[in-house]
Amino acid sequence: MNPAGIPLKEPSISAAAGDTGQLERALIDASTRVPVLIFYTSAVAWLILGTLFAGFVSFKLHSPDLLSDISFLTWGRVRPAHMNVMVYGWASMAGMGTAIWLMARLCRTVLRYPLLLVAGAGFWNLGVLLGVGGILLGDSTGYQWLEFPSYAAIILFVAYTLVASWAVLMFRFRRGEQIYITQWYLLGAFLWFPWLYAAGQLMLFVVPVQGVLQAAVGWWYANNLLFLWFGAIGLGTAYYMIPKVIGRPVYSYHLATIGFWSYALFSSWTGMQRLVDGPFPAWMVTASIAATILTLIPVATVGLNHHMTMQGYFPLMRYSPTLRFTVFGAMSYTVFSLVGVLISLRSVARYVNFTEASIAYSHLGLYAFFTMVIFGSMYYIVPRLIGREWRYGSLIKLHFWASAYGIGLMTLMLLAGGFLQGSSMENPSLAFSENVETILPYLRGRSLSGILLTASHFIFAYHFGLMLFGLGRKSTVPTFLNPVEAEGAGAH
Amino acid sequence: MKGLAPLFLGIFGTFAFSWVGLTVIPNWQIGHLNPQSDEEGTDIYPMPQSGMVQQGARVYAANGCIYCHSEQVRAEYAGADIERKWGDRRSAPRDYIFERPVFLGKMRMGQDLANIGARAPAEQESPSPGGGGSPAGSPAGAAQSPSPSTAQPKTQAAQPPESAAQQQQPATSPATSPAVAGPSTGIASPSPAAAPAAAASPGAPPSAGPPWPEQTAGLPPMYSAAWHHVHLYSPRSINFDSNMPSYRFLYQARRISDARSSDALQLTGSDAAPEGWEIVPSYDAKCLVAYMMALNQSHPLKDVRSTGAAAAASPAASPSPAPGGQPPK
């Protein structure tokens, strides 16, 4: 135990220590090094590109004449480009990187068939590149969340098949009977995604469904991507990182079981609440609203489980970057779900249905929850792959606060602006353009939050770059956020 | 949890449950709708789209219009859409059976477009949705009336300039121009005949009063094809507060060879082309406008109640002499 009470990571391979467990983990980490770093590096590159797109999109909403003469920089193309880069470039690749590392660790076997993963990452990057290029050149399919033209979608699917088949193979080589909670979520994510993606593509492009059902399939896909792919990876990661960093088992396995199955059952039925009052049979929307409310069961069980695990260990968030990001993400999952329930209620949806509030909801899920958990896991995993520690605790702190304030400000701006926009839209005596005037200050506030997030991502990318080039600290002590205090705490 | 089998089964089972429940069953319920017709099999609604309209939908998708504009009217109890005159009845699944992709939309940074075609001045209103019967009438009817048998894009490509663009402009009589539904107040231009005069004064942004939906002096009649082109080219020349981006890349500036093209945009103020030049829409811009002019859910549906009072605002539902319009009963 080091002074701050945080268990140290395993020192780099030293058989002399005689601890076979540590040696084994170090070997596994070493075997995941190349594939996971490929996924992470690509993800960070996409994150930077997506951030630039995001800033452009945000500013153009209140300065519409910015560069609008250029067809591939028109708002309606850059916005889906931003979303797809973030969803398929950043979040999916970073999530897969973390999932691969966790799989190897939890199956307690060195990573086999790394070429499958390397090829998968290559194809995935190619698919995202072609897809984003296609969108910017005017090839978007016009379905939200599935804008990638079919040539890109096929490549993504091939890439995905490689990664998922690797995951199933790894399961065959696993050691030990116990399947840890994280593995349930990861296995679920790896199996749900291909079905989801294939069903979406088939029902929209190959054997297209009629009329409004396309929108239903589209939102079914989008919400399940959010919950069963990103949500599952995010929750699984949190279930690993929180107990690992504080060195304490998960509070309750039973709660985790209830949480997992209720999550799979209820969250997969959400999606139609986004079509509230649209041209659909009312039962579809009502079923999804009910399912959204029922997701409070997994939220409560997962939240309670994490909280009880953390009980008494919250002060460690002052020191451990991983813990700080992960706990922030896990808490955001609760906020995200509560906001989701709130805006799905018919009486509220009437006001927020066609407003920026739904953008706030997506960002809460994809950023405040998922991305923050993934940042946390990267702070844990990357040093174990490279054998160096993060160079500057101060940069990690800056990254955290810029991200946390950025996403907090953005959520507040978009939720408040969305409610006001919606209520002025519901008042037909106000001219429509009053809506736009109502929300403009909030859009400017959102741009401000965009500056914070941009700063945080560039700081992170710089720090990650230092690590990649081997410029991290050579030490066996992890980088703490408040190292002086950490040492001071050990004095007594 | 011990053993993989229950885990696998559960993972597949929950997902299959959702897939069947939210996509397969709805597809069985409303996935095979047919157009409706009256007892004699006429007055068919909706009709398949013409090639030009389909191309316009692709332009709409490519440029991401869906991220700001919805195309659905909520029922009276669910929102103020009908009060805002975005339609006279709620949208129903049958309205969309020929749309692919379907642009229901999730955001209203801009207005709802479900009935934007129905708001056009009567002269060049889109083929009234039930009006497949007599395509011969006006140029608008000829070019846009969806006649499924002869939907070669080539021939239609030759036609649309007349229908979609400014051909009618000189011909529009003062009587028809302010025919836009809604309160026409002070600024309303009496007729487009005043256009040349107003064009001289540098852009007249409506500084006072609610700027939209009102006719701006010196511009083509609201929601006409010519108006859409000006709006796409320079949104803030029509509504100073708009935050819609301009779509200038869909337009070309070219030197006037002999006479001003009938397609040329009627721009005013700083947007106007320099002397000897004109701004004309590209084929994509014409298709986009043709698509918008075809957005029209004003035809009554048997399974949806239209609001009686608002029905008068709908040109197609009322027995007005829409040129391409009502089939003989």
Q: Do A213 and B23 touch (CB under 8 A)?
A: yes
* pLDDT value of position A280: 94
Residue A476: pLDDT above 80?
no
A491 pLDDT more than 50: no
Q: Does A287 contact chain B (CB < 8 Å)?
A: yes
Which residue is it, tokens 């992709």?
B101
- Lowest mean pLDDT of A16-20, A102-106, A155-159, A488-492, name the range: A488-492
Task: Name the residue type at position B134.
Answer: S
Taking CB atoms and an 8 Å cutoff, what residues of chain A touch B34? Answer: none
State the CB neighbour count (10 A cutoff) for residue B142. Answer: 18
**Residues in chain B closer than 8 A to A430 (CB atoms):** 210
* Per-residue pLDDT at B197 exceeds 60: no
**Band of the pLDDT at B4, cuts 50, 70, 90?**
confident
Q: Give the Cα separation of B1 and A253 in Å (integer).
A: 9
User: Sorting pLDDT into bands at 50, 70 and 90, what band is B309?
Assistant: very low
Q: CA nearest A366: which of A92, A61, A60?
A: A92
Q: What is the mean pLDDT of chain B?
A: 73
Which contiguous run of DSSP H or E holds residue A44? helix A20-62
- How far is residue A359's CA from residue A351's CA, in Å, rounded to a whole number? 14
Q: Are A414 and A356 in contact (CB under 8 A)?
A: yes
pLDDT at B325 over 50: no
Q: Is it the case that residue A11 has pLDDT exceeding 60? A: no
The answer on pLDDT for B49 being more than 70 is: yes
Q: CA B234 to CA B228: how far, in whole Å?
A: 10
Which pLDDT band holds residue B221 (cuts at 50, 70, 90)?
confident
* Overall average pLDDT of the A345-372 stretch: 94
Band of pLDDT at residue B276, cut at 50, 70 and 90 = confident
Chain B residue with CA closest to A353: the answer is: B106
Q: Which is more confident, B70 or B237?
A: B70
Kindly report the nearest CA distance between residue B120 and chain A, in angstroms.
18
- Residue in A210, A423, A430 to test binding to B, most B beta-carbons within 10 Å: A210
Count of alpha carbons within 13 angstroms of residue A66, beta-carbon side = 14
Q: At what angle do helices A393-425 and A432-468 cross, to 10 degrees?
A: 160
Q: Which residues pair with B277 in a beta bridge?
A: B255
Residue A208 exposure: Cα atoms within 13 Å on the Cβ side? 15
Half-sphere exposure of A113 (CA within 13 A, CB side): 17
- Residue B61 and residue A211: Cβ atoms within 8 Å? no
CB contact under 8 A, A184 and B249: no
Contact yes or no for A59/A53 (Cβ under 8 A): no
CB contact under 8 A, B80 and A426: yes
pLDDT, tens digit, for every residue of A445-463?
999 999 999 999 999 999 9
A436 near B CB under 8 A: yes
Mean pLDDT of A201-216: 94
Residue A392, burial from CB neighbour count under 10 angstroms (0-12, 13-18, 19+): middle
Nearest to A387 by CA among A32, A19, A4, A15: A32
Please tell me the predicted confidence (pLDDT) of residue A69.
86
Q: How many CB atoms lie within 10 A of CB A412?
A: 15
Cβ separation B101–A214 shorter than 8 A: yes
What mean pLDDT is reported for chain A? 91
Q: At residue A357, what is the residue type? A: A
Contact state of A425 with B27 under an 8 Å Cβ cutoff:
no
- What pLDDT score does A485 carry? 59
pLDDT tens digits along A182-196: 999 999 999 999 999
A72-81, B232-241, B264-273 — which one is most confidently predicted on average? A72-81
Which tens digits make up the pLDDT trace of A123-135?
999 999 999 999 9
Considering only the beta carbons, identify the residue of A179, A215, A264 that sits closest to B10.
Answer: A264
Residue A284 sits at the chain B interface (C-beta within 8 Å): yes
Q: How confident is the model at residue B124 (pLDDT cuts 50, 70, 90)?
A: low
Is residue B215 pLDDT above 80, yes or no?
no
Q: B57 with A214: CB under 8 angstroms?
A: no
Average the pLDDT over each of A50-54, A257-261, B104-108, B144-148 and give the range with the smallest value. B144-148
**pLDDT-derived band at B206, boundaries 50, 70, 90:** very low
Enumerate the residues of chain A whose CB falls inside 8 A of the CB of residue B249: 69-71, 74
Query: Which tokens belong to B307?
Result: 């609001």
Percent of chain A whose predicted confidence (pLDDT) is above 90: 79
Average pLDDT over residues B143-170: 40
What's the confidence (pLDDT) of residue B318?
39
Q: Which residues between 361 and 420 in chain A have a beta carbon less than 8 angstroms from any beta carbon of chain B?
A: none
B68: nearest CA partner in chain A: A76
Those of residues 351-370 in A touching chain B at CB distance below 8 A are 353-356, 358-359
Q: pTM of the entire structure?
A: 0.85
What's the pLDDT score for residue A479? 87
pLDDT score of B213:
55
* CA dihedral over B303, B308, B313, B315, signed as positive or negative: positive
How large is the average pLDDT for residues A276-288? 94
- Does the pLDDT value for residue B60 go beyond 90? yes
pLDDT score for A345: 94
Is residue B208 over pLDDT 70? Answer: no
Question: What is the C-alpha to C-alpha distance for residues B326 and B37, in angstroms, rounded to an integer?
Answer: 13
Query: Tens of pLDDT along A16-47?
Result: 555 788 888 889 999 999 999 999 999 999 99
Element (H, E) at B198: helix B195-200
Whether residue A63 is predicted with pLDDT greater than 50 in this model: the reply is yes
CB contact under 8 A, A76 and B67: yes
Cβ pair A64, B68 in contact under 8 A: no
Angstrom distance (rounded) from CA A159 to CA A288: 31
Residue A228 with chain B: CB contacts under 8 Å = 15
pLDDT class of B202 with cuts at 50, 70, 90: very low
pLDDT on residue A482: 82
Q: Is A315 on the interface with B (CB under 8 A)?
A: no
pLDDT higher for B220 or A376? A376
Q: Can you tell me the distance from the alpha carbon of A363 to that of A53, in angstroms, rounded to the nearest whole number?
A: 15
The pLDDT of residue A478 is above 80: yes
Q: H-helix or E-strand containing B254? A: strand B251-255
The domain segmentation of chain B, as residue ranges, is 187-285
Distance CA A192, CA A175 (A): 24
Query: Residue B7: enclosing H or E segment and its boundaries?
Result: helix B4-19
Give the C-alpha distances (Å, rounded to integers) separating A395 from A339, A398, B120, B158: 31, 5, 58, 62
Q: What is the mean pLDDT of residues A255-264?
A: 95
**Residue B251, SS3 per DSSP:** strand
DSSP structural state of residue B278: E
pLDDT for residue A283 is more than 80 = yes
Return the pLDDT at A18.
Answer: 58
Q: Hey, what are A356's tokens?
A: 């920026």
Q: Beta strand pairing status for B251-255 and B277-281?
A: antiparallel
pLDDT confidence of residue A120: 96
